[in-house]
Amino acid sequence: MATIFHNPRCSKSRQALAYLRERGIEPEVVAYLEAPPSVEKLKELLDAAGLSPHDAIRVREAEYRKLGLSKDTPAEDLLAAMVVHPRLIERPIVVTEKGVRIARPTEILDEII
């Protein structure tokens, strides 16, 4: 059983989905841009991956700059921004029974499949 928080317009996200399928894994696909995770769920995912909110935020997105976010922004504020502006969430996030990873590079998924 696996879940991928997926953006079909993102090449890395498409690669991760294909990587899972090539290995016989048909994951639950969560279109997180349409249905963003809650702050609690996002925190749970990042904690399981061993990442801080800033480790999992897309610093090159326009919203990051517009919102005045930085490494010094409190974690709670980063999480809230990521939920309101889900494009800020680094992708793709893959969840299995063995753990959670942001599939960058895609091969990191071998650790959890």
Q: Quick: pLDDT tens for 17-28.
A: 999 999 999 999
Averaged pLDDT for residues 67-88: 97
Domains of the chain: 1-32+91-113 (3.40.30.10), 37-88 (no CATH)
- In whole angstroms, what is the distance from residue 66 CA to residue 108 CA? 31
73: how many CB neighbours lie within 10 A of its CB?
A: 17
Average pLDDT over the chain reads 97
pLDDT band at 31 (very low <50, low <70, confident <90, very high): very high
Beta bridge partners, 93, equal 5, 102
Averaged pLDDT for residues 35-46: 97
- Residue among 3, 10, 44, 80 flagged as catalytic: 10
CA–CA distances in Å: residue 15 to residues 53, 105, 109, 110: 23, 10, 11, 14
Active site residue 10: yes
pLDDT of residue 86: 97
Whether the full predicted model's pTM is greater than 0.85, yes or no, is yes
